[in-house]
Amino acid sequence: HAAPGDTFWDIIRKGAQAAAAKDNVNLKYSSDPDSGKQATLIQSAIDSKVDGIAVTMPDPPALEPVIKKAIAAGIPVVAFNAGVGAYQASGVLSYFGSDETLAGKTGGKRATDDGFKHVLCVIQFQGQVQLEARCDGVKSAFTGGGYDKIYVNGSDLPSVRSTISAKLKQDPGIDFIVTLGAPIALNAIDAAKDAGSKAKVGTFDFNPQIPAKIKAGDLQWAVDQQPWLQGYEAIDSLWLYKANGNILGGGQATLTGPYLVDKNNVDLVGKFAAGGTR
């Protein structure tokens, strides 16, 4: 369900490509943020009689029927990144990703511990279950005061910046912004400056620009879900299943996060982020 230009998905793709190269398999990568179009991509993979499919499940009701069609056609399917609460019902073999509710709670607790009084959680694509779970987790664990949630158009970053800025001007009491993707975080930092707000920013997910922002104090922290590992394990697990009948997870999700990165540990992760694998 990758959106065009979102660098987070470049990291997932690199992991998938690394596994494909190691396992000597032909990787076909396709994506669309629209769940209906994503379902069409899965159907195309079925029609092509591929040996295995790795899918994200941001909108389970829209995707479960075609996933079940793939399984009925004898194609093994694994899920990754989105759909931790729904993958089992669809019959896929394994899931690789973060527990997004737990990740949200991690961010909400940290915001409380840091003494913030009013949190704004920003969702860049409405209706995606993993994004809603993150904000729900933030809300449930934040006990420092007020909480608001807004939706922005993650495919239009100038609009993201102006929408967040307008919200901060409307409610100057907001002192902490939680974003759910690195490109959104970078625009939230600029939006706070535009609005003359002193609100700080924390985010989910990484790109190569994030470590420098943490070191400079522009960003308080980032919750990493290790996307390279998600892409790698999704492809490698399909190869293991085809080659040796192996299934990872024992019926449970194989978690790649959450892992909170701040000034105390950013150097460790930062060197890998610079190489495009974190």
Domain boundaries, the chain: 7-99+226-257, 100-224
In Å, what is the CA distance from 176 to each residue of 53, 106, 119, 162, 206? 39, 15, 5, 17, 19
Residue 2: band (very low, low, confident or very high) from pLDDT cuts 50, 70, 90: confident
In the predicted model, is pLDDT for residue 278 greater than 90?
Answer: no
At 8 the pLDDT is 86
Taking all residues of the chain, what is their mean pLDDT, rounded to a whole number?
95
- Dihedral angle computed from the Cα positions of residues 42, 46, 47 and 52, in that order, rounded to the nearest 10 degrees: 110
Place of tokens 């700080």: 200
At 124 the pLDDT is 96
At 206 the pLDDT is 85
Place of tokens 């092509």: 48
DSSP letter at 33?
A: S
Point out which residues pair with 109 in neighbouring strands: none
At 255 the pLDDT is 96
At 207 the pLDDT is 86
* 153-174 per-position pLDDT tens digit: 998 999 999 999 999 999 999 9
Cβ neighbours of 221 (radius 10 Å):
25
pTM of the model: 0.85
Distance CA 262, CA 151 (A): 26
In sequence order, the 6+-apart residues with CB closer than 8 A to the CB of 61 are none
In this structure, what token pair is assigned to residue 263?
């000034």
Domains 7-99+226-257 and 100-224 agree in fold: yes
* 107-123 per-position pLDDT tens digit: 999 999 999 999 999 99
In the predicted model, is pLDDT for residue 272 greater than 80?
Answer: yes
At 127 the pLDDT is 87
In Å, what is the CA distance from 249 to each residue of 13, 205, 234, 274? 22, 23, 12, 30
Distance CA 124, CA 182 (A): 11
In the predicted model, is pLDDT for residue 14 greater than 80?
Answer: yes
Mean pLDDT of 164-187: 98
CA atoms in the 13 A half-sphere facing the CB of 54: 27
Cβ neighbours of 70 (radius 10 Å):
22
Residue 61: band (very low, low, confident or very high) from pLDDT cuts 50, 70, 90: very high
> Domain 7-99+226-257 carries which CATH code?
3.40.50.2300
> Domain 100-224 carries which CATH code?
3.40.50.2300
In the predicted model, is pLDDT for residue 187 greater than 90?
Answer: yes
